[in-house]
Amino acid sequence: MHAQNMASSENDPEITSLAPAYMCTDGLLEMRSSEISSCLVCHNIYCAERGSIRIGEEIAARLEAAGSRVVVTPYICFGACPDAPNILLYPEGSWYTEVTQSDAAEIAQHILGGAPVERLRDRIDPGLRKLILEIIDSGLGRF
């Protein structure tokens, strides 16, 4: 299931400072900070078998080379194993699925302030995304 970025600055100019926004399963818009302080990379078996560790290492190297303070850190499992490798930017909330090594540079650019990599972003069940972000927001499963 593909999540949709439901808010648009074309419709509401006030939304631009709070982007991205997502339509939740309860029909309410969820607004998250645009800040990215952590890049969470799943290191569990499905993601690791598909290269998540090396992808995370490349993103970390690119961020370090750019002088970024964003931390690239392992995550135990997002519960989206069939969509591996999974990467979640926190607290902003972009969730990248089926990431490949060749996507690492674009994801690093997003973290550094560039545009999100829309072809890879938020293609997971919005309910799962909401649950995982609530778990992390609550301090459980914190890194």
CA distance 16 to 21: 9
DSSP 79: S
Q: Strand (E) positions, the chain? A: 21-23, 29-31, 36-42, 71-75, 87-91, 95-96
Q: Cα 80 to chain center, whole Å? A: 13
Q: Which is nearer to ligand FES, 45 or 61 (CB)?
A: 45
- CB nearer to ligand FES: pick between 21 and 85: 85
Contact residues for ligand FES (CB under 6 A)?
A: 42, 44-47, 77-81, 84, 86
Nearest-approach distance from CB 106 to ligand FES, in angstroms: 20
**Which of 15/43 has CB closer to ligand FES?**
43
The nearer residue to ligand FES, 24 or 81, going by C-beta atoms, is 81
Work out whether strand 36-42 and strand 71-75 pair parallel, antiparallel, or are unpaired.
Answer: parallel
What SS3 class is residue 30? strand
* Min CB(35)–ligand FES separation in Å: 23
CB of 91 to ligand FES, least distance (A): 19
Secondary structure of residue 124 in the 3-state scheme: coil
What's the closest the beta carbon of residue 26 comes to ligand FES, in angstroms? Answer: 24
